[in-house]
Structure 1
Amino acid sequence: MRTDGDSWDIVTSVGLTALGVATFRALETLDPEPMIHDEYAAWFVEAAGEPHFLQKLDEPAAGTVGLFGRFMGVRTRFFDEFFAAAWQRGVRQAVILASGLDARAYRLDWPAGTVVFEIDQPRVLEFKSKVLDEHGAVARADRRAVAVDLRDDWPAALTAAGFDPRRSAAWSAEGLLPFLPGSAHDALFERIDSLSAPGSCVATDDFGRGMDQRHFDMEEKFFGPNPFGNLNVHDLWYDDARADPGDWLAQHNWSVHRVTPFDLAATYGRPITDLPAELPAELLDRLRRASYISAEKHR
């Protein structure tokens, strides 16, 4: 369970979920027709040595990906394309909030002069940098790690690292929102807004609101074992009151676009058409109400 001011490394608590997502990015990369390419993800899984995820990586042809893994491929591609669209509009600052084991600073073709800021817990960033350095990885942008908790004064740490609020920026909050208390969740968007010059953009995924342990139990019943092994992700989420991200942005001078994971999967040529026929309507409705949100601040 979460506590105020809790922290983690890459094999505990919230950090372990980042390792799980990296595992599924590595598995998607091994697919004969992958939606994304992340050759770095497997390095993190191997270096962490967590048995559950190592086993998944060792058995890529044994049906280990499942629905969750397919959604991770869709999610990763969505955010990849979000950043590409931003730099095509001339944006040269990117901020990856709760960056975890995200290797976009290394694997995307950033234009010259782009600065990528990665914000996360100190021990997570230390682990990532150590693994990348050991493999001799070279960033394709000016990568700047910002070790700070998103519940604290991260704008001060970000600006100290060289972020310029007078210039447009692309912000991502991928797989983050349910892990924040309601107050920090709402403050996150307030701070993004205050730091964003016109022409800035933000992307996030909205999938956790209204989900409880009953939904997790149903997912395991119909979709197979928990992809995170013995970790109950629901124990790490907050379910207190918070603003709807898309609605909040729309009310604060941002143009907002929403798309469902099902629509994205179809767009990417990987439609999800094999849901169990006996899936309860309640769970199906929750899955279909999940959305990916992108928004641009009006000029």
Structure 2
Amino acid sequence: MAVPREAGKDEQGPAMPNPAARTAVGPMTIVAAAQWGPQEHRIHEDKLAYGFLPAATRAIVSLTRWEPARRALFNATESRAKGLWAEMLCRKRYVDDKLRAAVTAGVDNVVILGAGLDTLAYRRPVPAGTAVFEVDQPDTISYKKKAVTRALGKMPATVTLVPIDFQKENLREVLTAHGYRSGGRTFFVWEAVTQYLTEDAVRSCFTFLSQASAGSELVFTYVRKDFLDGITLYGAEGAYLDFVMKNRLWQFGMNPDQVEGFLADYSWMVKEQLGGKEFTARYVAPSGSRLPVTDIEQSCYAVKS
């Protein structure tokens, strides 16, 4: 069973011609398929994931309610990068946990950068008066609007979809034009995006983040630079050949010991970083499963000083 990567044409949604935009489908395919697994071993709960997928992908995922088909999809994913399946589930669980804590503490805005087909804005209701902004490429935003409307009946009034070209447009200007106000505390999510950007584009986004109010929070992920450089492949030779060498989709990376200094330049303080070992201890082991978790991607939580 192949790992779905492209949205293709859905009966309710357009094609996604941009190569990076097409990768939005893969993670949510894994999330949706994982929901068919045993409840007691489930790492991440997401009942909306299936409904947000394109029709062709939903047809594939519907087969995974049977364990042999689910195992086939798992094996296809792991053949590209051992531990990728669990890492995707863990990083989404981590974002969920951090958002839940932030909402409890009180935030004024939630901004999801590179939202893809993620369901976070629709699964985790925020208090009245808290605005949620989903930011992504125009192709993805166009599809997302149709997918949400198909799955939920209409777009929630609290969520604003914001189309942007991260490489060319000014993030602050685009968000402001869609109603974002930076005066209050904001919870930012930037999941599985930085590797697709140039360093200049990443720094441009951090320049925007440097203007956030003190006490704002950020969860973001990055791919390890030693992996992108081909120094250590972490059992992910297939992903390296596909994303780095062949299609050259992944461009930017950091190593864990670089992150604190990088973020400090933009007045953000790193509070914790999680890779395979940490995710295993926090989420996988308590679930009773024995899934490996890859180290090629790391998750970081930071607070604005």
TM-score by length of 1: 0.79
**Corresponding residue for residue 45 of structure 1:** 53
RMSD in angstroms over aligned alpha carbons? Answer: 3.2
Provide the rounded CA distance (Å) in 2 between the counterparts of 1:141 and 1:249. 33
Does 1:188 pair with 2:185?
Answer: no
Identity of counterpart residues, as a percentage? 23
Does 1:100 pair with 2:113?
Answer: no
Question: What is the Cα deviation at residue 109 of structure 1?
Answer: 2.8
**Corresponding residue for residue 4 of structure 1:** none
Judging changes above 3 Å, is the alpha-carbon distance between structure 1 residues 57 and 181 closer, same or farther for their aligned structure 2 residues? Answer: farther
Q: Which one is further off, 71-80 or 200-209?
A: 200-209
| Cα displacement string for residues 105-135 of structure 1 (whole angstroms, at most 9, x for unaligned residues) | 1111322222110111112111111122123
Amino acid paired to 2:199: G
| Cα displacement string for residues 57-78 of structure 1 (whole angstroms, at most 9, x for unaligned residues) | 5235231234321111101001
Q: Residues 178 and 208 of structure 1 are in contact (CA less than 8 Å); yes or no, is this contact kept in structure 2?
A: no
Q: Residues 113 and 141 of structure 1 are in contact (CA less than 8 Å); yes or no, is this contact kept in structure 2?
A: no
Question: What is the Cα deviation at residue 238 of structure 1?
Answer: 1.0
Provide the rounded CA distance (Å) in 2 between the counterparts of 1:220 and 1:264. 18
Provide the rounded CA distance (Å) in 1 between the counterparts of 2:231 and 2:34. 25
Provide the rounded CA distance (Å) in 1 between the counterparts of 2:94 and 2:254. 27
Provide the rounded CA distance (Å) in 1 between the counterparts of 2:207 and 2:61. 39
Q: Residues 36 and 77 of structure 1 are in contact (CA less than 8 Å); yes or no, is this contact kept in structure 2?
A: yes
Question: What is the Cα deviation at residue 178 of structure 1?
Answer: 0.7
**Corresponding residue for residue 84 of structure 2:** 68
Question: Which residues in structure 2 correspond to 1:116-195 (within 5 Å)?
Answer: 116-137=132-153, 142-151=158-167, 152-194=169-211
**Corresponding residue for residue 7 of structure 2:** none
TM-score by length of 2: 0.77
Q: Determine helix, strand or coil for the equivalent of 2:35.
A: helix
**Structure 2 residue ranges without an equivalent (≥5):** 1-13
Match of 2:302 among 289, 295, 298: 295
Match of 2:219 among 176, 180, 203: 203
Q: Residues 205 and 291 of structure 1 are in contact (CA less than 8 Å); yes or no, is this contact kept in structure 2?
A: yes
Question: What is the Cα deviation at residue 28 of structure 1?
Answer: 2.1
Does 1:262 pair with 2:274?
Answer: no
Match of 2:35 among 29, 34, 51: 29
Amino acid paired to 2:131: V
Provide the rounded CA distance (Å) in 1 between the counterparts of 2:155 and 2:98. 19
Q: Residues 109 and 140 of structure 1 are in contact (CA less than 8 Å); yes or no, is this contact kept in structure 2?
A: no
Amino acid paired to 1:294: Y
Provide the rounded CA distance (Å) in 2 between the counterparts of 1:26 and 1:37. 9
Judging changes above 3 Å, is the alpha-carbon distance between structure 1 residues 220 and 56 closer, same or farther for their aligned structure 2 residues? Answer: farther
**Structure 1 residue ranges without an equivalent (≥5):** 1-7, 276-283
Report how many aligned residue pairs link the two structures. 271
